[in-house]
Amino acid sequence: MADIGHEIPTALLPSLLIGFGAPAAALGVIEGIANGAAGIARLAGGPIADDPEQRRATALGGYAATAVLSALIGAATATWQVGILRVGAWTFRGLRVPARNALLADIVSPEAYGRAYGFERAMDNLGAIVGPLLALILVGVLGTRSTILLSVIPGLLAAAAILFAIRQAPRLKGRNRTAIRFAFRPVFGGALGRLFIGISAFEMGNIATTLLILRATQTLTPTHKQDVATEIALGMYVAYNVAATLVSVPAGYLNDRRGPVQLLAVGALLFCAADDGFAIAGLPFLAVGFVLAGTAIGCIETAQHAAVAALAPPDIRGSAFGVLAAAQSFGNFASSAVAGLLWTFISPFAAFLYLAFWMLVGAGVTTWARAGAH
């Protein structure tokens, strides 16, 4: 429900800014600052979520604030107002992530971590499909502003679901009220630390999906009309999200039976094959690449969350999830930036081979970490 809520404003944001007469650069600046703020908030939210009571309040407040601020974009009358609301919404969205993940570990038995996080990832990806489709339907009836304002409804329903989960969760003893601090040393020690090396390598090859769409659009445009090429590219992106949705829960079952390390390595190898397909390009390779990439992300994100829940000591579980979320956010930024430079100054082929290399490194390092993980 939360993803449906914030995907609606996301889908309609370009249209709203065009109505203000804002240049394309304005969207880039707003999204860049918002994603950077979300990454910092994810890291900062980790230590807050180490305390059971604070993680509950942070999760509930984060979902509610994200819903309200995202929906208020529909009432904005200037570009700067959109920017402030977007950055605020994404900050609260980032802040809630470690708390949500730690809360999920509170209410699920360790034997079912894989299935639990797989189900959460499946619903996340489903929201990325339903949200834009719902926006497309509603905007033709209600208009852009009203549709964005109504997005508060699924967002607040998500907050209500979190409140219900909190009330069902076992009461855990909170830590003594001390200054919030980052528990970096315990997080990076032992098996979890070795696993984070592999996760970091993977994230260095995990680019923004908008670049995958760009690769497909540019490849298909010479042989198709631009509108047709765009439609095909977006259709393949939908296939990416469908694959991620369908594979996440089965990947969770595999995680619970075999452990997260093997699932991480398999996901990285699938992503390596997908990057090879994007490097070669051509319609068949692109289509297979999108499906493989969606399958890979469903495996990897499920395994990452389940691994942190299983390996992190309970008293620093929030910090561990904060580090994971920050690694995902900043790694995605770094990989996209480097791949974009290689794409521009050398070739798309070189960019995707670079990404495939990092996926191989990630698979190798996670395999090396297996002994420590067990």
* Lookup result for tokens 């620093």: 316
Gap between the Cα atoms of 345 and 247, Å rounded:
36
Q: Is the confidence at residue 371, as pLDDT, over 60?
A: no
Domains 2-168 and 184-373 share a fold: yes
Q: pLDDT band at 372, cuts 50/70/90?
A: very low
Whether the model pTM is above 0.85:
no
Give 5 or 169, the one with higher predicted confidence. 5
Give 180 or 369, the one with higher predicted confidence. 369
pLDDT score for 272: 94
pLDDT tens digits for 114-124? 999 999 999 98
Q: What dotted CATH number matches 2-168?
A: 1.20.1250.20
Gap between the Cα atoms of 48 and 45, Å rounded:
5
Gap between the Cα atoms of 235 and 129, Å rounded:
11
Gap between the Cα atoms of 284 and 273, Å rounded:
13
b/e 276-305 (16+ beta carbons within 10 angstroms → b): bbbbebeeebbbbbbbbbbbbbbbbbbbbb
Gap between the Cα atoms of 259 and 164, Å rounded:
30
Closest CA to 282 of 230, 223, 240: 223
- CA 119, chain centre distance (Å): 14
Q: What Å distances lie between residue 2 and 76, 124, 243, CA to CA?
A: 21, 8, 20
Gap between the Cα atoms of 54 and 83, Å rounded:
28
Four-residue CA torsion sign, 323, 328, 329, 331? positive
Domains of the chain: which residue ranges?
Answer: 2-168, 184-373
Range with the poorest average pLDDT among 12-16, 27-31, 50-54, 112-116: 27-31
Range with the poorest average pLDDT among 67-76, 139-148, 220-229, 352-361: 220-229
Range with the poorest average pLDDT among 197-201, 255-259, 324-328, 365-369: 365-369
Q: Is the confidence at residue 295, as pLDDT, over 80?
A: yes
Q: First CA to last CA across the chain, in angstroms?
A: 35
Q: Is the confidence at residue 131, as pLDDT, over 50?
A: yes
Both tokens of 366, joined, read 């996670």
pLDDT score for 222: 79
Mean pLDDT in the chain? 84
pLDDT score for 224: 80
Gap between the Cα atoms of 238 and 297, Å rounded:
14
CATH class of 184-373: mainly alpha
Given phi > 0 = left and psi -120 to 50 = alpha, else beta, which region is 32? alpha
Q: What percent of the chain has pLDDT over 70?
A: 92
